[in-house]
C-alpha cells in the first residue's frame, strides 16, 4: 500500500474585513449570562469536508473569503475581540478596523485517500486542518477559519470559534449566510438576519431567584477550574466506534422488555450504555458522584421564544446524576430512565433559574464539578446545509476535547455522505484517557455482539 503524503502547507493567512463598514465608531457589546457560562470559555473546533465537482471550478479559498467578508457586514461581532470585565465576565469590543483571520493551506493527497476524514484517518493530520488557538488568542480572535485544498480539488473548512460568542447553531447560521452569498444570493435576501440583543432576551429576572434542579446539579467553588481534570500527565485519546441499526434496535428492545414496557430514544438508550462503559473504564470510586451532561436547545422553550435570527448561545446544560456504584450496578434501563426523566426539567422556569443562578453566583465559581460525561448528538443539527457552491459537506467532524464541563466528550455523528449506503447506523466518537480506552473498547465490542449486561 502506497504511503499517503498528508503534509499540510500553510500558504497564507488573510485578514478578512467586512465588505461594507457595519458601524462608524468603536463600541462594546454585552454577552448574555448563557454566553458567560464558565464552561464556554473554550474554542469549539470542527471541520466540514467538501468534494470537488466539475461545475464549480472556482478556487475555494477565494470564494469563501469573499463570502465571509460580505457576511461579516452583518455578523461583524465574529471579528471583534473578547475581553474580561472587572467582574471577570466577558464582553465584546468592536473596533472600526476589525478583521477575521482565514488561513489558506494545501495538502498533497486526495480526500478519498484519507476516507473523506470520516474514519481510520491519522488524528494528527486531522488536527492540522483546524486552527487551534490557545486561550488568550481565542479571546483576541474568537473566530479563526482555515480552508485546506486537497490534490483532488476537494477541500475542508476548519473553524475554531470561541464558545462564549455563540454555539454550534449560531455558527451554522453565520456559515449558511456566507454560503448563500457564495452561491450568488444578495445579502439583503439571505435566509437569516442576525439578532444580537443578548442581555435583553436572556437577561436575569428583575428579582433573580435560582430554584429547582439547578441547585441540585451545580455547586460553588472558586478554586475549581472547568476542564482542570484534563491537565497533567493524563494522556488522552480520541476513538470512533460504529453503531449499527440492528444492535441499537436490539438494545432498545431489551430495555423495553426489562423495564416493563418503557420506550427509550437512541440518545437515552445508547447514552446510558456508553455512560456506564466510560465510568467502568475510568474506575471511578463507587461513592463518587458522576454526571451525564447534555445541552438542550432553548430557543423555542423560553417565553417568548427567541427570534429566528438570534445566534448567541441558545442552549442550557441538563444533567442526570448518580453515584458511580449506582450507575455500574443498577439495571441499564434505570439509567436510561434517569436520562429520560432529566428532560422533564426543560422548561422556561429552568432556563430562567439557570440564568438567575449565573447572576447571583457568578463570582463564587459555578461548576458541575468533576466526573462529568458530556454527550451531544450531531446527527440532526443542520451542519450539512452549508453549501458554498460545491454541494453540502460530505463529512462534519468535531475536534473539541472540552464540552459541558467534561474533558471526555462523546459525539453521536452521521457517517460521511460520500459513502452513503455502504453502512447503516451512525458512529460514536469518544475522548478518553488512553489508560481507559482498552476497557471501554471491550464494552463497545460487547454492544456490537449484543451482549448488553442489562
- CA atoms of 11 and 103, how far apart (whole Å): 8
What pTM does this model have?
Answer: 0.94
| DSSP result, 295-363 | EEE-TTTSSSPPPTTB-S--EEEEEEEEEHHHHHHS-HHHHHHHHHHHGGG-SHHHHHHHHHHHHHHGG
Q: 160: which 3 cell numbers?
A: 475554531
pLDDT digits (tens, 9 = 90+) for 259-300: 999 999 999 999 999 999 999 999 999 999 999 999 999 999
* Furthest C-alpha separation in the chain: 67
CB 430 within 8 A of CB 442: no
| Span 422-447, average pLDDT | 89
Classified as helix, coil or strand, 263 is coil
**3-state percent helix, strand, coil for the chain, nearest multiple of 5:** 35, 25, 40
Residue 47: which H helix or E strand, with range?
strand 43-50
Nearest to 346 by CA among 299, 391, 383, 309: 299
pLDDT digits (tens, 9 = 90+) for 360-398: 999 999 988 889 999 999 888 777 789 999 999 999 999
pLDDT digits (tens, 9 = 90+) for 138-147: 999 999 999 9
pLDDT digits (tens, 9 = 90+) for 49-90: 999 988 888 999 999 999 999 999 999 999 999 999 999 999
pLDDT digits (tens, 9 = 90+) for 151-209: 999 999 999 999 999 999 999 999 999 999 999 999 999 999 999 999 999 999 999 99
Q: Which of 68-77, 127-136, 217-226, 384-393 is predicted with the least confidence, judged by mean pLDDT?
A: 217-226
Question: Quick one: pLDDT at residue 2?
Answer: 56
Question: Quick one: pLDDT at residue 1?
Answer: 43
Q: Where are the alpha helices (DSSP H) in 46-185?
A: 60-72, 123-127, 135-140, 168-182
Amino acid at each position: 500500500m502506497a504511503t499517503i503524503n498528508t503534509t499540510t502547507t500553510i500558504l497564507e493567512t488573510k485578514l478578512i474585513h467586512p465588505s461594507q463598514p457595519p458601524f462608524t465608531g468603536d463600541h462594546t457589546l454585552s454577552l448574555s449570562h448563557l454566553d458567560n457560562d464558565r464552561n464556554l470559555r473554550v474554542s469549539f473546533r470542527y471541520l466540514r469536508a467538501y468534494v470537488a465537482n466539475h461545475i464549480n471550478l472556482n478556487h475555494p479559498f477565494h470564494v469563501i473569503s469573499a463570502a465571509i467578508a460580505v457576511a461579516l457586514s452583518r455578523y461583524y461581532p465574529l471579528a471583534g475581540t473578547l475581553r474580561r470585565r472587572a467582574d471577570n465576565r466577558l464582553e465584546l469590543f468592536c473596533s472600526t478596523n476589525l478583521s477575521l483571520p482565514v488561513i489558506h493551506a494545501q495538502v498533497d493527497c486526495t480526500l478519498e485517500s484519507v476516507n473523506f476524514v470520516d474514519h481510520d484517518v491519522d488524528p494528527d493530520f486531522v488536527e492540522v486542518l483546524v486552527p487551534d488557538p490557545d486561550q488568550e488568542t481565542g479571546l483576541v480572535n474568537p473566530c479563526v477559519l482555515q480552508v485546506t485544498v486537497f490534490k483532488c480539488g476537494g477541500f475542508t473548512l476548519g473553524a475554531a470559534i470561541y464558545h462564549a460568542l455563540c454555539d454550534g447553531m449560531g455558527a451554522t447560521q453565520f456559515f449558511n449566510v456566507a454560503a448563500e452569498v457564495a452561491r450568488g444570493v444578495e445579502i439583503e435576501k439571505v435566509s437569516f438576519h442576525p439578532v444580537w440583543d443578548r442581555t435583553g432576551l436572556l437577561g436575569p429576572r428583575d428579582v433573580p431567584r435560582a430554584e429547582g434542579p439547578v441547585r441540585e446539579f451545580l455547586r460553588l467553588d472558586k478554586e475549581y477550574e472547568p476542564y482542570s481534570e484534563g491537565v497533567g500527565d493524563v494522556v488522552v485519546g480520541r476513538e470512533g466506534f460504529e453503531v449499527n441499526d440492528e444492535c441499537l434496535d436490539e438494545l432498545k428492545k431489551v430495555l423495553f422488555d426489562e423495564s416493563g414496557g418503557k420506550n427509550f430514544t437512541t440518545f437515552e438508550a445508547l447514552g446510558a450504555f456508553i455512560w456506564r462503559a466510560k465510568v467502568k473504564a475510568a474506575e471511578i470510586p463507587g461513592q463518587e458522584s458522576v454526571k451525564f451532561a447534555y445541552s438542550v436547545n432553548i430557543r423555542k422553550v423560553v417565553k417568548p421564544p427567541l427570534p429566528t435570527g438570534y445566534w448567541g448561545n441558545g442552549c442550557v446544560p441538563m444533567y442526570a446524576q448518580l453515584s458511580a456504584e449506582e450507575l455500574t450496578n443498577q439495571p441499564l434501563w434505570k439509567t436510561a430512565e434517569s436520562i429520560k426523566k432529566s428532560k422533564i426539567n426543560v422548561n422556561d422556569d429552568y432556563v430562567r433559574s439557570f440564568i438567575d443562578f449565573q447572576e447571583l453566583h457568578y463570582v463564587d465559581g459555578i461548576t458541575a464539578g468533576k466526573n462529568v460525561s458530556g454527550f451531544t448528538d450531531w446527527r440532526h443539527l443542520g451542519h450539512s446545509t452549508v453549501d458554498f457552491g460545491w454541494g453540502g459537506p460530505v463529512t462534519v467532524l468535531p475536534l473539541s476535547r472540552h464540552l459541558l464541563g467534561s474533558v471526555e466528550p462523546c459525539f453521536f455523528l452521521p457517517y460521511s455522505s460520500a459513502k452513503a449506503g455502504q453502512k447503516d447506523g451512525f458512529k460514536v466518537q469518544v475522548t478518553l484517557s488512553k489508560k481507559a480506552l482498552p476497557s471501554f473498547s471491550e464494552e463497545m465490542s460487547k454492544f456490537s455482539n449484543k451482549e448488553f449486561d442489562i
